[in-house]
Amino acid sequence: MFHHFHQRASLPHGKNNAFTLIELLVVIAIIAILASLLLPVLSKAKVKAVRMQCTSNLKQWGIAITMYAGDNHESFPDNSTSDGASGFAWMGLNLNNDFYPHYLYPNRPGTAADKKRDVQDVLYCPTDQWHRFFEVANDAINLIGYQFLPGRDAGGWPDYNDQGLGEWIFRKKIGGLYRKAPVMVDKIQATGNPPSLVWASASAPYANHRNSSGISTGANFLYEDGGVLWRRFDPNSSKTTIDVGSSTGGGWIVFFRPADMAAGPQ
C-alpha cells in the first residue's frame, strides 16, 4: 500500500508569509479611501430612509383624516383651544378617544415613568427629538410630532393669521376654498430674519430633518387629497421651496407655507 504525503513547499531560507509594513500601510490606505467614499453614501441613504418613514407616517395621517371626515360630515378633527389645542403641535384632548384609536393608532404618549415613545410611532416624525423630550418631561398627553393646521380657532398660539394664513388654519371642512392648502407639515423652527439659527436646547434640538448645523433641510407637506410632498428649505438661498409661515413676537418662526402658494384660495 502506498501512502501519498503532501508536503507544503518550504519557503526560501529567511523568508516568511507575513505582510511587510509597507504592504499593511497600503492596505490601510485603500480601506480608508473606500470608507471615505462609502460613508457619505450610507449617510445619505439613512437620511432618505428616515425621510421616507416620515412620509409614510403622514400618508397614514391622510388616510385617517379622510376616514374621519367621511364619518363626520366632511369635517376635520376639532382643535379648538378650549380643549387644549393651543399651538400647531397640540391636538384636542378629545382626539385621544374620538380619533386616534378608531382611525389612526391608539395614542400612547411618553411619560416620566414610561420614558420616550418609540421612534417608529406614527404620531411623531422620526427626527423629532424636542417634542419627545418635552412630552416626557411634562407628561403631555396631547402633543404630536407634526404641525396640524386646520380645525382651529383664533385663540391659538402663535398668531394663526400671521402672513394672512388664517383661513388655512380656521377651515373646518374638507373640500372648501382652501382645499389645496397643506393639512400637516413636519416641524421646522428657526430664529432670525432672515432665519439662520435654530433655537438651541441642552435637552434636544428643536428642528426636524436637521443638517450638521441643526437647521431643517426641508419638510414633508400633507394635503387634503392624501398626497405628501417634500419641500426643500434653505434660509440662505433663493431656491428654497418653503416660505415663512406664522411667527411669534419673540423671533421664533414656524415655517409651513410652500413658497409657490399664496395665502388666498388656489
Burial class (CB in 10 A: 0-12, 13-18, 19+), 141: middle
Q: How far apart are CA 200 and CA 197, in angstroms?
A: 8
**DSSP three-state, residue 189:** strand
pLDDT at position 213: 75
pLDDT at position 46: 73
Longest dimension (CA), the chain: 102
**DSSP three-state, residue 242:** strand
Q: Report domain extents, the chain.
A: 21-258
Q: How far apart are CA 48 and CA 173, in angstroms?
A: 33
pLDDT at position 8: 47
Residue pair 205/198 in contact (Cβ under 8 Å)? The answer is yes
pLDDT at position 152: 94
Residue pair 144/84 in contact (Cβ under 8 Å)? The answer is no
pLDDT at position 63: 96
**DSSP three-state, residue 265:** coil
Tens digit of pLDDT at every position of the chain (266 positions):
445 544 544 545 555 567 687 877 888 888 877 777 666 655 666 777 888 899 999 999 999 999 999 999 999 999 999 999 988 999 999 999 999 999 998 888 888 777 878 888 999 999 988 888 889 888 899 999 999 999 999 888 878 887 788 899 999 999 999 999 999 998 876 655 445 555 556 678 888 888 877 778 888 999 999 999 998 887 666 677 777 666 555 556 677 788 888 888 86
Residue pair 258/241 in contact (Cβ under 8 Å)? The answer is yes
- The predicted model scores a pTM of 0.80
Closest CA to 210 of 126, 135, 134: 126
Closest CA to 191 of 244, 130, 237, 238: 244
Residue pair 252/189 in contact (Cβ under 8 Å)? The answer is yes
pLDDT at position 120: 82
pLDDT at position 117: 84
Q: How far apart are CA 243 and CA 54, in angstroms?
A: 21
Residue pair 115/133 in contact (Cβ under 8 Å)? The answer is no
